[in-house]
Amino acid sequence: MNTKNQTDQLTAEDIVETSSVSSVGPPPTKGTWYVYLLVMTVCIGGFLFGYDTGVISGALTPIQDEFHLGTREKELVVGATTFGAIWGGLFAGLLLVWVASVVFVLGAVLIAAAPNYACLLIGRLVVGLGVGIASMIVPVFIGEVAPKDIRGRLTVLNTILCTFGQVFAYLMNIAFANVYEGWRYMFGIAAVPALFQLLVMPFLPESPRHLIIAGNEDMARKVICRIYGDDVPRSFIENEIKTIRDDIMVSKSGSYSDFKKPEHYRPLIIACILQAAQQLSGFNAAMYYASTILQMAGFRSNSSSTSVAIIVTVINFAFTVIAVTIIDRVGRRRLLVITMATMILGLIALGVTFGVQQNFLTKQATCSGYTSNCARCVIDTDCGWSISQNICIPSASNPGDIFQSPSGCPARPNDRAIVGVLIASLVVYVASYALGLGYAPWLIQSEIFTTAMRGKATGISTAVNWICNLIISTSFLSMTEAMSTGGTYFFYAALSIVLWVFIYWLVPETMRLSLEEIHQGFLKQ
């Protein structure tokens, strides 16, 4: 999953629950230090979510060299975490926050100590379980413990920490790029924050909602008192207990058969389209394979490609923060439609530029098939550019005759221009994605379902997100070989255009509308 998770699922619930306390006065506007400690500890899961989905970019090349991986094996290493996340998300409702910490620690150790490809793959699957658990449990837990007046601020913190985790992963990629077996350190570092979370979480309580479901209302009252402060009125605490009880009952009242009704299946279709668009635009291919993509663009060494690839995560982080601050002023639909159109232009520009650089050449059976195109020749790990013959030859046939330069090719007059346009196109693509598709689908999804159907609908649409993520992460390298790199980006652009049309016609504006008003809009359609 984008590397974005379900940190905003409770935004719409704020509208419902705030009205329920009007009869007992407004709740305190500031949380206690206890709340911030609790939320920051839990948000380590969001940070690890981002870290473990981002670290593979810089680690993939050295892993390939050590275990001699082919295209399919590399795709499986990347996609294993997503596959594990699907299952982790499915069973997350049965687990507690600290379970994700245990899984993250176990996965980090398995990968860092992996003696072979099979162990590496298992470790990535285990980490994926942790990612899936954290992506579902962490935002829900924050929403259940955060005071209403600062809930939005605290749920956004998880989003920001997730994208920051990706930035930190790339920094670790750079730090260990030239270290012997540095990829083991890249993965192993993830165990440190997970271990800290594991040690702290047993001293922190469950959420009031979880305690009420378990029948422990007295403990729930104590937790609410610690969340809002000792001076909170008794009437307010009792109203909170009642509100949580009522919400639990309403949530249980919905059934999957209710999706046969237009007012329920229409928002479900919209949510699934938004989640599919988020992944089928190819962004996670850029996130997982950023270093590989830049090697395709001419940055041959892993250290140089990783250093430039951090642009992807920094831009994603910065524009996610911007999206959070402006989306309530610009509007969800408007921002989504405009930025997605700009993102498509970035994809087309990437396709054109890679096409100019590599002549849309696909993977050839022999090195001679790349004719005079050095840029495409050197992407093939079995080939290199001959100094004496000025053609593409098998690199193992005469290693001393292989051209050595940062790009692996003789300099051309337009090299700088091509690389400059590639990086600029990548920046436009990533920035536009972060402003729109990276954030808006989760927010819109939190607002278009009724309380009774929200849990089930969110589970379905989130499954669509993970499945599409898995498709993209396990097919990108194969597509670049079968369709060329430029052709792959044109394919993503074509898919995004189709999905943009659906989004333009189907997605309503939900800004400043109550849940009731949004639901009435679907009833009228």
Could you please report the per-residue DSSP string of 82-143? HHHHHHHHHTGGGS-HHHHHHHHHHHHHHHHT--SHHHHHHHHHHHHHHHHHHHHHHHHHHH
> Comparing C-alpha atoms, which of 441, 477, 439 is closest to residue 462?
441
H/E/C letters for each residue in 375-400? HHHCCCCCEEEECCCCCEEECCCCHH
Please state the rounded mean pLDDT for residues 257-283: 92
**Percentage of residues of the chain with pLDDT beyond 70:** 92
Does the pLDDT at position 12 exceed 60? Answer: no
- pLDDT tens digits for range 149-183: 777 677 788 888 999 999 999 999 999 988 999 99
46 vs 92, higher pLDDT: 46
Tokens of 283: 């962004």
CB 387 within 8 A of CB 410: no
| pTM, to two decimals | 0.85
Q: How confident is the model at residue 495 (pLDDT cuts 50, 70, 90)?
A: very high
Does the pLDDT at position 187 exceed 50? Answer: yes
* CATH superfamily to which 255-362+406-524 belongs: MFS general substrate transporter like domains (1.20.1250.20)
Does the pLDDT at position 359 exceed 70? Answer: yes
pLDDT of residue 96: 65
Max mean pLDDT among 195-204, 243-252, 339-348, 351-360 falls in 339-348
pLDDT of residue 287: 83
102 vs 26, higher pLDDT: 102
**Percentage of residues of the chain with pLDDT beyond 90:** 44
Does the pLDDT at position 391 exceed 70? Answer: yes
Max mean pLDDT among 33-37, 59-63, 278-282, 445-449 falls in 278-282
Does the pLDDT at position 5 exceed 60? Answer: no
Does the pLDDT at position 10 exceed 70? Answer: no
Does the pLDDT at position 8 exceed 50? Answer: no
Does the pLDDT at position 197 exceed 50? Answer: yes
Q: Where are the domain boundaries for CATH 1.20.1250.20 in the chain?
A: 29-204, 255-362+406-524
Max mean pLDDT among 70-84, 134-148, 407-421 falls in 70-84
Rounded-to-integer distance, Cα 435 and Cα 359, Å: 32
Does the pLDDT at position 472 exceed 90? Answer: yes
- pLDDT tens digits for range 416-432: 888 889 889 999 999 99
Angle at 381 between CA 380 and CA 382, to 5 degrees: 90
223 vs 11, higher pLDDT: 223
Does the pLDDT at position 242 exceed 60? Answer: yes
pLDDT of residue 500: 97
Q: How confident is the model at residue 7 (pLDDT cuts 50, 70, 90)?
A: very low
CATH C-level class of 29-204: mainly alpha
- pLDDT tens digits for range 292-308: 787 777 676 666 777 77
Please state the rounded mean pLDDT for residues 435-454: 87
